[in-house]
Amino acid sequence: MELLSLLTPGPTGWGDELLIGLSMTLGLALATFPVSIMLSFLIHWARSSRRRPLRYLAQMHVSIFKSLPEILTLLIIYYQSQVVISWVADYAGLDSTLSISPFLAGLIALSLVISAYGSEVVRGALQAIGKGQVEAAQALGLSRFHCFWKVVLPQFWRHALPGLGNLWVILLKDTSLVSVIALSDLTHVAALAINTTREPFFFYLVIAAIYISLVIFSSWIQKRLERRAARGFVAGGRAHA
Amino acid sequence: MLDLWFDYKDLWLSGLKVTASLTLLAILLGFVLALPIGVARARNRGLSGVLAYGYVIFFRGMPLLVLLFLVYYGAGEFSRDLRSLGLWWFFRDAYYCGLLALVLNTAAYQAEIIRGSLNGIPSSIREANAALNLTRWTAFRRVLFPIAIARALPGLGNEFILLLKATSLLAIITIFDLMGQARFIFSETFDLRAYYVAALHYLVLVLVLEWLLRRIERRNAWAA
């Protein structure tokens, strides 16, 4: 009971701080996800491009960011961009105390990592849709934009949702890494709370429970979205109902 | 970048050794733990099924970083009890705590891979086992298990690579693996290239591992 009173909001409890940490975690994940999906498409297009340098660059992106530990990517992005920013600021004669926020560094690093995996999800989903749809759209005289927007993309979600759901869960858990560069997300707030209360087991168990409920809630949402994306399709078959 | 490697050659090599030993120990111990959990998940009946499901949800649902802190800092809170149980030597050591967290985490992922490959075995094979009058244990040991492992290999190989990358988190609890050495060298020299040298190590390790795994998979093409 004594422990539970630590979770109340107000000056003695940590409930409100944890809530702010939770919103930071969710905010970072929600901001990163759309960016990484768009980046995934760009990388997939570069990988299947006719230009060789573009193909090599995209392939390198995937190999590098799938091989590096996320935490290393994060630290490199964080420190290197500080250096680059102060260098540019010096050169342009601006205020050299400019720095990159941990939030932005986390957003960039996580987008790079998630998009490396995401490009494979995009490739798989586009392959599942098949070339026939694109050819039919071209035969109808649709522009490339309309072909993608009106024909490919609506069918894309049905095939991509399981993979994207997986990536979302990975992203949600990877946001905990930004606590290392002092963004006050859930994990960081827990560390602060432990510094004053000396209850590490309790607080880490609480935020573990929060992460687990977020993951369970996400997979529930994912199932609903999958059902919605598959509407009009006979279960298990390719035929249109 | 090469000079930074040669200047701290001993540190990099010992970091490499720690990373390699952690990865290998964690994947092997994790497999031993994952096997019964994966089988229980595939059967999905009774108390064992519920427990296995709970294990997987719990350890896959939280970030490894949180699990790591839970084991390492959480154990400190129970130091008196652990001392009286004679387990304190284990939880006092950051290496063992980190290893435990890695094993608990990877076992959950490996169990799901094993479940998938067991469930994917066509029912005709089970019927053949029944027709041959094999006992359940013999059928599992001589037929189902070898097929399941051969089918699980690509997934387990992937997990191997993810685990190698995950060991870098242990640098935060003062383990001097590759990442830990990079942090140390950076704090000594303020030379950002230390992180790039570490990145190069991981890149080479993963590329070599991927090549090896592809060769092993080719030998097991019969199971697909």
Q: How large is the average pLDDT for residues B68-76?
A: 92
pLDDT digits (tens, 9 = 90+) for B35-47: 999 999 999 899 9
In chain B, residues with a C-beta closer than 8 Å to the C-beta of A66 are: 206
Q: What pLDDT does A86 receive?
A: 84
- Residue B170 Cα, gap to closest chain A Cα (Å): 11
In chain B, residues with a C-beta closer than 8 Å to the C-beta of A198 are: 77
Asked whether residue A122 carries a pLDDT value surpassing 90, the answer given is yes
In chain A, residues with a C-beta closer than 8 Å to the C-beta of B66 are: 176, 187, 190, 204, 207-208, 211
Q: What pLDDT does A241 receive?
A: 41
- The tokens 């400019």 sit on which residue? A98
Q: What pLDDT does A50 receive?
A: 92
Asked whether residue A133 carries a pLDDT value surpassing 80, the answer given is yes
Q: What pLDDT does A236 receive?
A: 54
Q: How large is the average pLDDT for residues B137-143?
A: 92
Nearest to A76 among B64, B171, B199 (CB): B199
Q: What pLDDT does A94 receive?
A: 73
In chain A, residues with a C-beta closer than 8 Å to the C-beta of B169 are: 69, 71, 177
Q: Which of residues 167-186 of B touch A (CB under 8 A)?
A: 168-169, 171-172, 179, 182
Nearest to A201 among B77, B169, B203 (CB): B77
Q: How large is the average pLDDT for residues A141-169?
A: 93
Asked whether residue A89 carries a pLDDT value surpassing 90, the answer given is no
What are the φ and ψ backbone dihedral angles of B82, each rounded to 5 degrees?
-65, -35
Mean of all residue pLDDT scores within chain A: 89
Complex confidence, ipTM: 0.90
For residues A27 and B7, the model is more confident at: A27
In chain B, residues with a C-beta closer than 8 Å to the C-beta of A205 are: 70, 74
| The CA-based dihedral angle spanning residues B195, B196, B200, B205, taken in that order and rounded to the nearest 10 degrees | 20
B66·A64 Cβ contact <8 A = no
B207·A71 Cβ contact <8 A = no
Q: Which of residues 131-170 of B touch A (CB under 8 A)?
A: 161, 165-166, 168-169
DSSP B70-117: HHHHHHHHTHHHHHHHT-HHHHH-HHHHHHHHHHHHHHHHHHHHHHHH
Nearest to A208 among B62, B196, B198 (CB): B62
Q: How large is the average pLDDT for residues A153-160?
A: 91
Q: What pLDDT does B224 receive?
A: 58
Apex CA B133: angle with CA B132 and CA B136, to 5°?
115
Q: What pLDDT does A174 receive?
A: 95
pLDDT digits (tens, 9 = 90+) for A9-67: 777 778 888 999 999 999 999 999 999 999 999 999 999 999 999 999 999 999 999 99
pLDDT range class, residue A1, cuts 50, 70, 90: low
Task: Tell me what percent of the residues of chain A surpass a pLDDT of 90.
Answer: 67
Are B140 and B159 in contact by the 8 Å Cβ rule? The answer is no
Maximum C-alpha span of chain B: 70
A176·B165 Cβ contact <8 A = no
Q: Which CATH code of 1.10.760.10, 1.10.3720.10, 1.10.10.10, 3.40.50.150 fits the domain covering B2-223? A: 1.10.3720.10
Q: What pLDDT does A240 receive?
A: 47
pLDDT digits (tens, 9 = 90+) for A166-212: 999 999 999 999 999 888 899 999 988 888 888 899 999 999 999 99
Least confident of A214-218, B14-18, B220-224: B220-224
A68·B202 Cβ contact <8 A = yes
Task: Kindly list the domain boundaries of chain B, sorted by start residue.
Answer: 2-223
pLDDT digits (tens, 9 = 90+) for B174-188: 999 999 999 999 999
| Closest residue on chain B to A172 (Cα) | B63
In chain B, residues with a C-beta closer than 8 Å to the C-beta of A188 are: none
Domain boundaries A4-229, corresponding CATH code: 1.10.3720.10
Question: How many CB atoms lie under 10 A from the CB of residue A15?
Answer: 14
